[in-house]
Structure 1
């Protein structure tokens, strides 16, 4: 049997410190009815943003004042949603790095996800980057019947990418990959596989 450390050990991209870095926070909570829910943001509609209106986790690029990628995730979450992970979040784990590109350039960027348990009040304060916050039950996200394919047009043709839908929202791309990484680990109580 594998040790807990082996199961939870995240994959780190070699030479990640030489690339542009970003990080996000996967935040879960226990709802009033005892369900475990995961926080998503819906990005604001912005001209020129290829992910405008998409569902995502709060986070963003590291700034020179961020001591670590985890500090960047905490800062960006506070800026975008008003959720203070330093004061009211319990850090649980770091998930595997993912590689993407800058929004406007083809240079690679490493994104690191961090998992937190939310232990604060439910109120949020959204900034201009976020349209809304949606708490989605993990039981819905983990159910196979809620997974499907989303058509995504590229210069070389249309791809059918995996996604999960919830009340008109579509979780796909990097957010879907991070979600699958979270669901594959024994980190969140009440997941009930």
Structure 2
């Protein structure tokens, strides 16, 4: 690890683009969607999950997406289908695919079985209206400059059977971005920082 690299950036650099065993596990996909803001900057779309009893991620901030279904032609098609179902945002019509980010290993919401999540990056060039389904409470567009600023990074205490962990997070207007979404966000921000 070079002196200028933080442990978080070092860990991201080691994370493989594709997990070699992903085809043998349940798959899920999400869409990271950015657009040009009215102010001239760039902003990223987040959803706030609907609050549901028994859901450990109820009310959390996330990217639209979900589990791959047999009818999905690919994990990327899953991200596009789920985004349309959850938000009404049609990536096949108004989204420009930009990149595939690294696979992440997580677990099913209600079970301890592993699941691979693949993020896909899109530029949005369509209407600003959304149509939310029952899984989503609201859509929030967050400026990328805010998400990247060091002073907006913090930690979230997360209780586990082994004790409390302080998870890295970013707070925005009462919302808290953490966990897998925070990890995906950091990879996206790091990739933008590398551009000439």
Equivalent in the alignment of 2:116: 110
Q: How does 1:15-94 map to 2 (within 5 A)?
A: 15-94=21-100
Which runs of no fewer than 5 residues in structure 1 stay unpaired? 1-6
Equivalent in the alignment of 2:152: 146
1:174 partnered with 2:180 = yes
TM-score normalised per structure 2: 0.90
Supply the distance in 1 between the matched residues of 2:146 and 2:192 (Cα, whole angstroms): 17
Q: How many residues align?
A: 183
Supply the distance in 2 between the matched residues of 1:54 and 1:167 (Cα, whole angstroms): 14
8 Å CA contact retained: 1:63, 1:72: yes
TM-score normalised per structure 1: 0.92
Q: CA RMSD in A?
A: 1.8
- Report the secondary structure of 1:185's partner residue: helix
Supply the distance in 2 between the matched residues of 1:164 and 1:99 (Cα, whole angstroms): 21
TM-aligned CA deviation for residue 32 of structure 1:
1.2
Going from structure 1 to structure 2, the CA distance change for 1:87 and 1:187 (only over 3 Å counts) comes to farther
Supply the distance in 2 between the matched residues of 1:186 and 1:148 (Cα, whole angstroms): 21
Supply the distance in 1 between the matched residues of 2:133 and 2:193 (Cα, whole angstroms): 29
TM-aligned CA deviation for residue 186 of structure 1:
2.8
Which runs of no fewer than 5 residues in structure 2 stay unpaired? 1-12
Supply the distance in 2 between the matched residues of 1:121 and 1:67 (Cα, whole angstroms): 26
